[in-house]
Chains A and B, each alone.
Chain A
Amino acid sequence: MLCDRCQKRDAKLLYTEIINGIKKEQHLCEECAADYTSFQMEKPLLNSELTLGDLLSTLLEAYTTKGTKETGDSKPDIVCDSCSTTYEEFLQKGRFGCANCYRSFHKELSKTLKGVQGSDVHTGKRPKGFISDTDRILQDFTEIERLSLKLQEAIEKEEFEEAARLRDLIREMKKEETNNA
């Protein structure tokens, strides 16, 4: 039976109203009942969570399958080696299984994140005392190696003045090193 008010959704409850002795009965859907009466749907807040998850997963799938749909199931599914969540499962649920999933899905993830977030690189806060893999590698570098890396970066960014300065600095340091030896 359709709702007496909106005539669109299924009626879920019978609402009886008695005003000045005149009895009026209406079959209402949940939405109209919530609007028209003091009837409150059970847990109205949570319903939305589900639909959002569904929506997100369709979005995720749309972002990742774009252009990669070639020969159907030829691509083997990626599995997280820590919690065994598959990439397929991630796309369906829109949820990672554990922190390690980020590493396991690394190859596919950049594209997904760019699609959802417009970026795949964090530029905000780092926890105090956090040492990244890059930091760790850099720690073992000599000063000259570190400067050479910066030089490379400057050239790539076409910051030639800075590059020249770094080049001279490195030359100087190398000269000093040979002198000391």
Chain B
Amino acid sequence: MLKWYEQTAQDSDVVISSRVRLARNLANYSFSNKLKEEQAAELVKEVKTITSSLAEKANRKFYSCNISTLSEIDKSAMVERHIVSPLLAEKKQTTGLILSEDETISVMINEEDHVRIQAIVGGMNLEQAYEEADRIDDIAYEKLHFAFDEKYGYLTSCPTNAGTGMRASYMVFLPALSAARMIQKLIEEVGKYGVTIRGIYGEGTKSLGSIYQISNQKTLGNSEREIIDNLNRIVTQVIKQERKRREYMLSVNSDEIEDQVYRSYGILKFARQIASDDAMTLLSQLKFGADCGVIKFDREFNVHKLMMGVQPGSLQWTLGKNVGSTTRDQSRAEYIRKELPTII
């Protein structure tokens, strides 16, 4: 089965992926920040019991584990691939994970909330991501007693998540808008509509390779449908602006852009050592060139898969061992050389 980042998808020149996260808590336990270790272990055990019903009813293979059983490399590779949050990977208490074989669905246990259901699909398709997460939520509710209040909706640890408990986000690639230094303005603009733009790994993280996350800020007062519709309207506008800007850049600077894209290819193809930030910047230029048709390859080329593959954790995961930064830079260069398609 193909993973989401291996599929070709709609509007993928700008929208890389769509993700929905639902926060849920069990009524019979204190919230995670007040949970004692024994209860945490019990909670993880209880939530993990839904794994078999998920496999049965959601037509997929699911695996479950305690995060503490994973190696540091596994954990950081999973954070980089957006399967688990940094918080879950770092937490000292017992935490757990249920993951579908195709990595589309993950259920984090004892994160900030007891249960966080997440669904990721490639391209612009929040509807499908929500559908998946919603179904998992229904199946889970058959076994787990989620705290729900008539007035406040799903009760969450932090008041900023209460109600739907839903955070819906698009991961977008905005090289032209960021080159034009328009991101800050965009952030202010979309803020008026209850939407935020952040770096690639969420809250407070910086953007790598012109990739940003656009997500809803408020979770209470609007239905899931309304939240998604609102986000869709905004992202459609962002796509338009980005494409317009790309066209403009190409019309005034096509020679420079072509040169830049080919140079990036040259470095990626022949470098013997490369740091991950560098690799991200160059790959981002390559994606931009490929999307605009400035550069053509002999085969379908998924830049995003490569972007995840060059992250320190994923790289060491592929290598199967922990290595120092110089060796990492060498193996990163080797990995890129191997994966890079030929220009036609």
Contacts and interface: CB of A to CB of B under 8 A. Distances in A.
Partners in one complex: yes
Contacts of A46: 86-87, 90
A157 interface: no
Contact of A123 (B25, B147, B222): B222
Contacts of B33: 93, 95, 97
Interface in A84-108: 85, 93-99, 102-103
Contacts of B137: 125, 127
B221 A117 contact: yes
Given A113-B152, A127-B146, A97 B34 contact: yes
Contacts of B312: 40
Interface string B153-183: 1111111101110100000000000000000
Interface string A13-41: 00000000000000000000000001010
A51 B205 CA distance: 12
B122 to A, nearest CB: 24
A78 interface: no
A45 interface: yes
A1 interface: no
B30 A124 contact: no
A124 B87 contact: no
A123 B149 contact: no
A43 interface: yes
A94 B33 CA distance: 11
A83 B162 CA distance: 19
A118 B162 CA distance: 12
Which has the most chain A C-beta neighbours within 10 Å: B29, B138, B160, B277? B160
Contacts of A60: 159
B148 A126 contact: yes
Interface string B306-344: 000000100000000000010001000000000000000
Given A95-B158, A117-B162, A125 B30 contact: no
Given A123-B223, A124-B223, A94 B158 contact: yes
Contacts of A119: 163, 218, 220-222
B13 interface: no
Given A51-B204, A120-B152, A85 B34 contact: yes
B9 interface: no
The 8 closest A-B pairs by CB, nearest first: A48-B204, A119-B221, A122-B153, A99-B147, A132-B150, A45-B86, A117-B220, A124-B223
Given A48-B203, A120-B152, A125-B223, 19 more contacts: A40-B312, A46-B87, A93-B33, A97-B30, A109-B152, A117-B162, A119-B163, A119-B218, A119-B221, A120-B151, A121-B151, A121-B152, A122-B153, A122-B220, A123-B221, A124-B153, A124-B227, A128-B138, A128-B141
26 contacts: A38-B277, A45-B205, A46-B87, A48-B203, A48-B204, A49-B86, A49-B87, A93-B33, A95-B157, A99-B27, A99-B147, A102-B162, A116-B159, A117-B218, A117-B220, A120-B220, A122-B150, A122-B151, A122-B154, A122-B220, A122-B221, A124-B153, A124-B163, A125-B134, A125-B223, A133-B150
Interface of A: 38, 40, 43-49, 51-52, 56, 60, 83, 85, 93-99, 102-103, 109, 112-113, 116-128, 130, 132-134
